[in-house]
A = this chain, B = another copy of it.
Amino acid sequence: MSKLTDEFNAYRQKMNEKILSADNLVIKRLYNLDSNTYEDGALPAKTKEMLGLVASMVLRCDDCVKYHLQKCHEQGISNDELFEIFAVANIVGGSIVIPHTRRALEFWEELKV
């Protein structure tokens, strides 16, 4: 896999481990809950990952976008589906979402190599 994605995952994992090793109960439970949120339920995991992606985009959190892009890729989301999520994010969040859309597409292209 390509460089952007590797770097992101390595840093994410290293720092998450440090955060969790501090043994703050609220943070540990919250991070745990965060993973549970996107599991299959009344809505399939694929839909939930799309929800996580669009929420991350309108809140303009590049790292959250990268995380959910990986999950969306694992869930087999197509290019056309991705761009329709981008469209909702850009319409709801406005032109300030455009720079995040650029970085999201760059990351997505690396995922597909």
Per the 8 Å Cβ criterion, residues 14-54 of A in contact with B are: 15-16, 18-19, 22, 24-27, 29-31, 33-34, 36-38, 41-43, 47-48, 50-52, 54
Residue of B nearest to A34 (CB): B95
Copies of this subunit: 6
Cβ of A4 within 8 Å of any chain B Cβ, yes or no, is: no
Q: 25 A–B contact pairs at CB < 8 A? A: A24-B86, A26-B33, A29-B33, A30-B30, A30-B33, A34-B91, A37-B88, A42-B80, A43-B50, A43-B84, A43-B85, A47-B47, A48-B88, A55-B92, A58-B58, A58-B94, A59-B93, A61-B99, A64-B92, A64-B95, A90-B94, A93-B93, A93-B94, A94-B94, A94-B97
